[in-house]
Amino acid sequence: MDFQDSPEEAAYRAEARRWLQQHAPAFVGNGGDPSDEASRLARARVWQALKAEARYARITWPREWGGAGGTAMQQVIFNQEESRFDDLPVGFFGIGLGMCVPTVMKYADDPTRLRFVGPALRGEEIWCQLFSEPSAGSDVAAVRTRAVLEEDGWRVSGQKVWTTGAHYADHGLLLARTDPSVPKHRGLTMFWIDMHAPGVSVRPIHQMSGGSDFNEVYLDDVRVSDSQRLGAVGEGWKVALYTLMNERVEGGKSRGPEIETIMRLASDVPAGNQSVMEDIAFRERLADWFVQSEGLKYTRFRTMTALSRGETPGPEAAIGKLVAANRLQDLCHQMVEEQGLFGLCSDPAVAALGASLQHDLLHSAGLRIAGGTDEVLKNIIAERVLGMPPDVRVDKDVPFNQLTR
C-alpha cells in the first residue's frame, strides 16, 4: 500500500497548511494560565467556529450538515497539519463531534438533527456522554439509572460518574434502563438530555493530575420528553454500541509528544558521560514507541476509510484505543524517570515540554479505563476480531431485576 500523498492529496495538504499558517498562530501559546479552563474554553470556541466557517471542523461530514463532503484522507491530512501547532485549543469538542452528535445524526428525527448539529460543529454547544455508573463502568449494560414512562414523557432518576466535561456541557447522551424485567442488554433506551434541566446536578471530581475533567452527575426526577429518545424503546444497547465504536475511534488517536520531540528531549538529558538518546536500551524503547505510533496511524487510516464509506466503525477500533493508552503511559513514565529528580518538577514554566509529560503520566491511567478497560478491549479483540471462543457470561439471559446485586 502506498501511503505517499497523491497529487490531489498533496494539493489539499498545501491548501490546509496555508490556511493553518494564516490562522493558527494567533491561537498558539495565547491561552494564559493552563489551569484556567474558562479561558481555554473561550479560546477553543473561537478556533472551532473559525474551522467550521472554513469547513475544516468535520471534513468528512456532508456539506448540508456543515462539513466539506471530503474524504477520510483529507481529514487525516488536516489533522496532521493541525497537530504541527502546539497548544491549539482542540480538546473540548471531541466527545460531542466524535461520539454524541454522530449518534444524534443517525438516530434522531430531522428537527432534532437540525437543532443540534450546527451549534455543536461551530463550538457553540458542547456534549457529554452519560454512560458509566458507580456499579456499571466496564459493564455498561448494567446501568441502573431508571427512565419511567409517564403521560407527559419520561421521568429519569439515577447517578452517572466519570463523565468527562459534564461541568461545561450543554447536552448529554444518556443511557437509561426502561425495562428491568428483561436481560440487561434488552431493557435499555437512549435519550439526549439538557444538562441545565431541573434535577440535573454535576459535581466535579478532583484528579491526581490536578484537573477536574471528570464528574459525578445526579439525575433527580428529570423530566425528558419522548421526542428526546434516540432509537426505539428497548434498543438502547444497539444505539450505545454505535456510540462506543465511535468512542474507540477517538480514543485510538496517538497521544502524547511526537517521536521527534522525544528524541530532542532525550538528546538534552544527560546519562553519565553521554545523553539518554545514546543509551542502547533507551533507543530500543524508542523504536517500540515509533512502531506503535505507526501502527496506530495506519490502523486509524483504515477506520477513517470505513467511516468515509458510511460504515460503522467495527470492533477493530478497540485495537487503537488499547495501544494508544498503554503507549502513552509507558512513554511518559519512562521519560519522567530518565530525567531523574528533575522529572519530579511539574511547573509548566520550568519542566521539560511544559510539564506535559508529568500531566499525561497522571492522566494516562484513567485513559486505560475510559472507553473500555484493557481487559474489556482484549475480550472484544479476541472474540469479535480474532474469532476466539467467547468469555463465560452467566447473566446473559437472566432478567436484570433477578441479578444478584
Please give the radius of gyration of the chain, using alpha carbons only, rounded to the nearest integer.
22
For the chain, percent of residues with pLDDT exceeding 70:
93
CA 88 – CA 376 distance, rounded (Å): 33
Q: Where is pLDDT greater, at 6 or 156?
A: 156
User: Is 31 a residue whose pLDDT tops 50?
Assistant: no
pLDDT digits (tens, 9 = 90+) for 17-26: 999 999 999 9
Look at residue 1 in the predicted model and tell me its pLDDT.
Answer: 46
Is 309 exposed, middle or buried (CB count within 10 Å of its CB: 0-12, 13-18, 19+)?
exposed
5-9, 195-199, 206-210, 308-312 — most confident range: 195-199
Mean pLDDT of the chain, nearest integer: 89
Is 252 exposed, middle or buried (CB count within 10 Å of its CB: 0-12, 13-18, 19+)?
buried
Q: Measuring CA to CA, which residue among 52, 198, 207 is closest to residue 125?
A: 52
pLDDT digits (tens, 9 = 90+) for 142-178: 999 999 999 989 999 999 999 999 999 999 999 999 9
pLDDT digits (tens, 9 = 90+) for 229-257: 999 999 999 999 888 877 655 554 667 88
Look at residue 289 in the predicted model and tell me its pLDDT.
Answer: 95
User: Is 209 a residue whose pLDDT tops 80?
Assistant: no
E strand residue ranges, 180-265? 188-194, 200-204, 215-224, 229-230
Q: Where is pLDDT greater, at 87 or 328?
A: 328
Look at residue 240 in the predicted model and tell me its pLDDT.
Answer: 94
pLDDT digits (tens, 9 = 90+) for 329-349: 999 999 999 999 999 998 888
Look at residue 282 in the predicted model and tell me its pLDDT.
Answer: 95
Cell 467495527 belongs to which residue? 314
Look at residue 164 in the predicted model and tell me its pLDDT.
Answer: 92
Q: How many residues does the chain have?
A: 405
User: Is 226 a residue whose pLDDT tops 50?
Assistant: yes
* Domains of the chain and any CATH numbers: 7-92 (no CATH), 127-234 (2.40.110.10), 252-385 (1.20.140.10)
Look at residue 253 in the predicted model and tell me its pLDDT.
Answer: 62
Contacts of 280 (CB under 8 A, 6+ apart): none
Amino acid at 141: A
